[in-house]
């Protein structure tokens, strides 16, 4: 599974309620477009992300795909046809945008809407095998999703763990703890859940 992650903030002239309503409409319409290979999305409010500027807060949207071959299809589908008006409306209300691409390395449960997103860096000189062993020996595997950034795309450290609990991680990994709360979730089978 691939996750395209989009971080953003609202412009000052729009209320949080209006911005969040527009986000929900966009996510709902996108999953309704039935794009091949697109599995759904979750939109979250976040706190503690240094790449969000001085506020360190904003929104984090995860768009899930079967594989990276879906990116072009999703990119086109999100901004064309019936999607164009709602995309342009949402984009016009957003600022401070960043994005990244992540591959799911392991998952023992669905933690994609988890309360915590913990960003990690591999210590210099440490092999990837040793890093993965260190993570698997210190983090309960049943309680996380484990993601790796692809092609150095994105403002974050290379690795991400999503969990319902704030997990103490080896300080060598320079963990960044981002607190999250779900705004909305849409899956490709049209189920809708709202926080």
Compare 189 and 104 and report the one with higher pLDDT: 104
Give, to the nearest 10 degrees, the angle between helix 83-92 and helix 71-79.
Answer: 90
DSSP state of 190: -
Neighbour tally for 12: CB within 10 Å: 6
Task: Tell me how far the alpha carbon of residue 190 is from its chain's centroid.
Answer: 19
pLDDT tens-digit map of 81-91 = 999 999 999 99
What pTM was estimated for this model as a whole? 0.91
The confidence score (pLDDT) of residue 109 equals 64
The confidence score (pLDDT) of residue 144 equals 84
Mean pLDDT of 24-41: 93
Mean pLDDT of 122-126: 96
Q: Report the CATH number of the 2-194 domain.
A: 3.30.70.100
Mean pLDDT of 103-117: 81
* pLDDT band for position 130 (cuts 50, 70, 90): very high
Domain boundaries, the chain: 2-194
Q: Which residue has the tokens 């996380």?
A: 144
Residue ranges of the alpha helices (H) in 80-127? 83-92
pLDDT tens-digit map of 146-194 = 999 999 888 999 999 998 889 899 999 999 999 999 999 988 764 434 3
The confidence score (pLDDT) of residue 111 equals 64
- Between the alpha carbon of residue 186 and those of residues 59, 76, 80, 130, 192, the distances in Å are 16, 19, 20, 36, 5
Compare 133 and 194 and report the one with higher pLDDT: 133
* pLDDT band for position 73 (cuts 50, 70, 90): very high
Mean pLDDT of 112-129: 92
């Amino acid at each position: 599974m691939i996750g395209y992650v989009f971080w953003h903030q609202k412009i000052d002239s729009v209320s949080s309620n209006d911005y969040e309503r527009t986000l929900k409409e966009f996510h709902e319409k996108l999953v309704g477009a039935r794009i091949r290979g697109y599995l759904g999305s979750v939109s979250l409010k976040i706190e503690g992300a240094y790449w969000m500027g001085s506020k360190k807060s904003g929104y984090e949207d995860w768009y899930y795909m079967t594989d990276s071959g879906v990116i072009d299809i999703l990119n086109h589908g999100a901004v064309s046809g019936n999607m164009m008006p709602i995309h342009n409306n949402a984009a016009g209300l957003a600022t401070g945008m960043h994005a990244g691409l992540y591959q799911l390395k392991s998952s023992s449960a669905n933690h994609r809407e988890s309360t915590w997103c913990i960003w990690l860096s591999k210590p210099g000189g440490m092999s990837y095998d040793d890093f993965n062993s260190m993570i698997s020996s210190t983090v309960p595997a049943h309680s996380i999703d484990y993601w790796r950034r692809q092609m150095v795309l994105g403002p974050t450290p290379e690795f991400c763990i999503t969990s319902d609990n704030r997990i103490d991680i080896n300080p060598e990994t320079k963990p960044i703890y981002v607190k999250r709360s779900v705004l909305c979730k849409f899956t490709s089978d049209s189920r809708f859940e709202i926080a």
